[in-house]
Structure formats: C-alpha cells, structure tokens
Amino acid sequence: MGRGGGRVKGADPYISGHGDLRYDVTHYALSLTYALPSNKLDGTAEITCRAVGELSQVALDLRLKPLKVSVAGRKVSRHRVLAGKLTITLAEPVAAGEEFTVTVKFSGNPAPIAKRGQDAAGWEELDDGVIVASQPHGAPSWFPCNDRPSSKATYELTLTTAADYQVEFSGELVTQQRRGAQRTWTFRQTQPISSYLATVQIGRYQVITQKSVVPLRVVGPAGIKNNGFSASFGRQPEMMALFVDRFGPYPFTGYTTVITDDPLEIPLESASLSTFGRNFAAADWDSVRLVAHELAHQWFGNAVTAREWRDIWLHEGFACYAEWLWSEASGQRSVADWARHHHAILAGASQKTVLSDPTASEMFEDWVYKRGALTLHALRAEVGDQVFFDILRSWVATHRGGSVSTADFVAHCSEVAGRDLAAWFGPWLHETALPPLP
C-alpha cells in the first residue's frame, strides 16, 4: 500500500483496523459537551498533524457520527466512514513533513468498543457518572484520533457537563467555571501521550490532597477514607518517593487517583491518572500491589511507551517489578522472594508464545507481567544494583515522551552496562522455555 492512498488496514498487527502510519498527530484540542442522563456527547476536535510522506488521504479512528469535516487551508474532495474509520480525501496532497490541521465536529452516544479476543474498551457509563478505559483500542469511542501507541500528542480538553459532577482528565486542570446548571472544565496535557492513555472521569466526587514530593490527589466518593484506604491509597506518597528514587523524576506535573463508587474488576491505566473501584481501598496485598503497579506505569507505559503492542512487557513487566520493590521497601516480602515465588509458578506452566511477541490474545495475560518482571530481576543479578537502576533511570530520561521497542531496551542496557547483552537477553525474550533464576 502506498503512503498517499488506499484502504488503511491498521498500524499495529495486534489491533486490527486502528491507526494510520502515514501521519503523526502532534496535538489534540477537544471541546466536548456531555449530557449524563442521555449519555449524549457532542464535540469538536481540532487535530494538528504532520505528514510522514506525501499524503492525499487522512484516516482517523472514530466510532461516533462525524457531522462536519474540514482541513485548514485545504479543499476536502470527500470524506467517508467505514468500519470505524473516517477517511478524508484531499483535493491536493500534503507534502512530506508538512503540518496540517483537521477539524471534526461529531456527536453520538459513546460506548465501549468490542474487539475479537479483547475486552471491550472506551467510554463507559457508571451507575452515576462515567469512566473511560481505552487500553488498548477504546479511544475512538469518544474522539477522532490516530489510534496507535506510537502516535503521541499533547492535549487540551474543554468539557461542559452538569455542575454537580467532578470532571477529571489526563492532564492539569487550568480552569473551571459554573454557568447555571452547567460547569465547564479546561485541562491541558503538555507531555506527549498516546491516544489510549487519554481519559475522562465524571462523578460525584470529593478531592483529597496528599502531601508528597509530587502533587498527589485522590478523587473519590464520600467516605472513601474509611476501611482500608490508609493501607493502600494512603501509602501513595511513600510509593512516589520510592519510585522517584529508583526510576528518576516523575514524568508528569502531578498524579491523580480516581476511585469510583462502583466496584471495578481491575484498575484502569491512563496518563497522570489511574482509576480504581472502591473495592481497592483495602489492606490486602492484591489491592496494595495494584496501587503501586498503576503508579509505576507513569514512568513505564505512559512516559515511555511501546511503539507496538507486541512490546507490552516494557510496560507490564516493569510495573510488576515495581510491585515487588514496594513490597520490600514497605517491610513485606523481598524482591528475591517474589521472584522465586513467581518463577516456580511459571516453571510449572507451559508457555506457547515468547515475551517479545506474546500475540494479541495473550498480551494481557499474567505470565507476560510476571516473566517481564523476572527478566528485569535476572538483569539486575547480571549487572548489579548500581548499573541496573542506572539503566532504569537513564531509560526513562532518554525516552520520556517517546516510543520504544524491545530492541531499543536491549541496546540501552548494553550501552549502560558497557557490554553487549543481546545474547544474554535471548532466552528470556525470544524463547518459550523459562531460563533458570539467577
């Protein structure tokens, strides 16, 4: 398929039909109005793009109805919608490297997007409010985007909804203004993030500020500080201090934890914000570890993002290892104990695919998380603590705001360690058999 035209099959083999490699988005300006009772979303998106090569078509991912489409300074010969793709054909091509702005006015009733072999993802109604969990394919449920992890952009969001609801977004609050029964919230995210990491959360919430080395907020329902809050979310300032020490400076301006009144099966990852159900305000290890896990994703996954979904271990293995680091630092089981525990479990199970390419159906399976963490622990034993944590800190510092691959990580480790580690990584990354634990 040429860069100029033809049907876009998708940018990532794991998520069919999503993304367009022919251009990058550098900025989204989203203006939204949302009616809670009817789940009606009306919006306008101004999308700043840069052509990779000469470009005569722009394909955006969108599951709502486009009402009006324009391209600044360019005549649009036609646009069409097919299978979640809004394809815009230009009368004259855009030159390689040239910036252009696409404006889409859209409307509809957003709902999670279902994909074969994956859980539904995207905009979802709660009993009283909204959550957006877009990983890995849900962003087009609520705005037009180039939905691939390697297209990272900054954001401005303005959202108007009922005045008695709190609105949160993956970014810093700029203003809020009430006008009668409505309130308008404006946010900005100045760090480039992938479309799946942009989220909106709407609910009847109160805000709790936590004292920390980084601005921390917990947004949740009344009475959320009861029960096990202090053992899980109450430890976030200490977790933040530990991770800043181990991973380097926090990559965003602040961190918000949204706790819904509805129970959730798993936490939801997004940039500078994580979402949990009320059931995670508990003292059990599975709740506590996931609070640490989602915080660690701000470095590994959100600031430094896999170029393709096949490299998901660069997110999940690192966040899982952060759980073990917190366990040891908080006086519970040591990292070595956790490594032995999970190595024994994986050694007794058959593995059909490799960590460097787990397949779409396996990419969120627990073995990917645990084998990824074990790979890091084995690396730590191989190079020593000082070099290992130098690797992690310099990895984030070098690639913050960018996209990476497994090959990039192996090369980075080799450079910091001062020797070629490609052969050492081979069994851990590219073979199904589990190597012995050092």
> Does 71 reside within a domain?
yes
- CATH number of the domain where residue 243 is located: 3.30.2010.30
Using CB atoms within 10 Å of the CB of residue 385, give its burial: 0 to 12 exposed, 13 to 18 middle, 19+ buried. exposed
- Of 248, 270, 298, the last residue of a domain is 298
Quickly list H helices, 297-401: 313-329, 335-347, 366-383, 385-399
User: What is the structure's pLDDT at 228?
Assistant: 87
Q: pLDDT, tens digit, for every residue of 362-394? A: 999 999 999 999 999 999 999 999 999 999 999
* 41 and 177, same domain (yes or no): yes
Q: Domain range spanning residue 371?
A: 306-430
CA distance 48 to 230: 43
- Residue 67 near residue 106, CB atoms below 8 Å: yes
- CATH number of the domain where residue 135 is located: 2.60.40.1730
User: What is the structure's pLDDT at 9?
Assistant: 56
At residue 180, does pLDDT exceed 50? yes
CA distance 112 to 124: 6
CA distance 385 to 154: 35
Q: Are strands 305-306 and 403-404 parallel, antiparallel or unpaired?
A: parallel
In angstroms, what is the C-alpha Rg of the chain?
Answer: 22
Q: pLDDT, tens digit, for every residue of 137-177? A: 999 999 999 999 999 999 999 999 999 999 999 999 999 99
* 311 and 219, same domain (yes or no): no
User: What is the structure's pLDDT at 1?
Assistant: 28
Domain count, the chain: 3
* 86 and 165, same domain (yes or no): yes
* 171 and 250, same domain (yes or no): no
- Of 160, 185, 203, the last residue of a domain is 203
> Does 438 reside within a domain?
no
- Residue 210 near residue 180, CB atoms below 8 Å: no
Q: What is the DSSP letter of 104?
A: E
> Does 2 reside within a domain?
no
Angstrom distances, CA of residue 334 to CA of 84, 322, 377: 47, 12, 12
Quickly list H helices, 130-231: none
* 396 and 280, same domain (yes or no): no
User: What is the structure's pLDDT at 74?
Assistant: 84
Angstrom distances, CA of residue 273 to CA of 26, 39, 253, 294, 394: 21, 23, 11, 9, 23
* 249 and 216, same domain (yes or no): yes
Max CA pair span of the chain: 65
* 179 and 67, same domain (yes or no): yes
CA distance 175 to 187: 7
CA distance 312 to 364: 8
> Does 3 reside within a domain?
no
**Percent of the chain clearing pLDDT 90 (strictly above):** 92
- Residue 358 near residue 306, CB atoms below 8 Å: no
At residue 341, does pLDDT exceed 70? yes
> Does 194 reside within a domain?
yes
- Residue 370 near residue 318, CB atoms below 8 Å: no
> Does 91 reside within a domain?
yes
- CATH number of the domain where residue 343 is located: 1.10.390.10
* 190 and 321, same domain (yes or no): no
User: What is the structure's pLDDT at 75?
Assistant: 83
* 191 and 53, same domain (yes or no): yes
Q: pLDDT, tens digit, for every residue of 36-58? A: 999 999 999 999 999 999 999 99
Q: In this structure, which amino acid lies at residue 346?
A: L
* 361 and 281, same domain (yes or no): no
> Does 132 reside within a domain?
yes
- Of 168, 186, 203, the last residue of a domain is 203
CA distance 62 to 58: 13
The length of the chain in residues reads 438
User: What is the structure's pLDDT at 6?
Assistant: 44
* 339 and 424, same domain (yes or no): yes
At residue 7, does pLDDT exceed 80? no
CA distance 323 to 39: 37
Quickly list H helices, 144-255: 236-247
* 180 and 42, same domain (yes or no): yes
> Does 105 reside within a domain?
yes
